[in-house]
Amino acid sequence: MDALLLDAFHSLQLALYTRLRTLNIALQAISHAKTVATPQPSQPAETVAFVRLPGEGQAVERLIGLRSGDRMDLKHHPVIELRLTESWLALELILNPQAWYDQRNWLGKLSVRRYRDEFHALLSALPTSIKVGAWVGLAPSERVLTSDQLRFPKVFEAWVGTYSDGRDWLRMGVWHPTSALDDAALPALLFEQLQALYTVYQFIGWTGRNDFYSLFRPHGDEPSGGEAV
């Protein structure tokens, strides 16, 4: 990948993380991460992962039956990625099927009418530039929804009603052409988009204070080795 692109990307990463720290947003940044957007990347992708803090990550990995080490296995967690390819600069929230504990936590929360309405309002308020869907891969899909479409209750309910934990992906994000790295306004724009994605991340992600897993957990379902049962 072009060295100038990489330099601009790393400067952008630093600028975003510095802003995160000033707002005390509870995410750590992992540079040179392996993307969770696809099991087998078809092209090089320089990736920075914004993910839950280490102690919280280890707690989740223990809950799903993994032996948690010093480094989190990112595919088992909701991740906000800043990702660079030759064509695109992506900022994206990804909840892949192997992050099934958080998927079930999210669906358990949605089973409560109050929180379902809250999530609908949250999606409706997203910037229209953010695409929402369930595809796999580094590139954006043409089969997406926007906040304008998700404002309609029938569209929202149809989308949520077909979601299956441990099988479906949740993707939402923005894709800028790599030429946008030359735009001085890009860091501020990306930070606004990152803040919007973080509100969804907070709603979905399991914590001791955001524990809705048991509401959706089938009877007799026990964690085993990091896979949904």
If DSSP codes are grouped into helix, strand and coil, which group holds residue 123? helix
pLDDT tens per residue, range 123-134:
999 999 999 999
Say which residue the tokens 């992708």 belong to.
45
Name the CA radius of gyration of the chain, rounded: 17
In this prediction, residue 222 has a pLDDT band, given cuts at 50, 70 and 90, of very low
Round to whole Å and give the CA distance between 150 and 107. Answer: 17
> CA distances (Å), 71 to each of 11, 53, 76, in order?
24, 11, 12
Fold entry, domain 3-215: BirA Bifunctional Protein; domain 2 (3.30.930)
Q: Percentage of the chain surpassing pLDDT 70?
A: 92
Query: Which whole number is the average pLDDT over 79-102?
Result: 95
Q: Please tell me the predicted confidence (pLDDT) of residue 23.
A: 81
Label residue 141 by pLDDT band (50, 70, 90).
Answer: confident
Neighbouring-strand partners of residue 81: 49, 92
Confidence of residue 225 (pLDDT cuts 50, 70, 90): very low
Domain chopping of the chain, boundaries? 3-215
pLDDT tens track for 11-27: 999 989 888 888 878 89
The Cα–Cα gap between 84 and 11 comes to 13
155 near 145, Cβ under 8 Å?
yes
Digit-coded pLDDT (tens) for 27-82: 999 999 999 998 876 667 899 999 999 989 998 999 898 876 678 899 999 999 99
| Cα–Cα distance for residue pair 16/31, rounded to 1 Å | 13
Amino acid symbol at 136 = V
Q: How far apart are CA 190 and CA 195, in angstroms?
A: 9
Task: Dump pLDDT digits (tens) for 147-158.
Answer: 999 999 999 999
CA dist 93 and 155 (Å) reads 21
- Is 140:91 a contact under the CB 8 Å cutoff? no
pLDDT of residue 227: 46
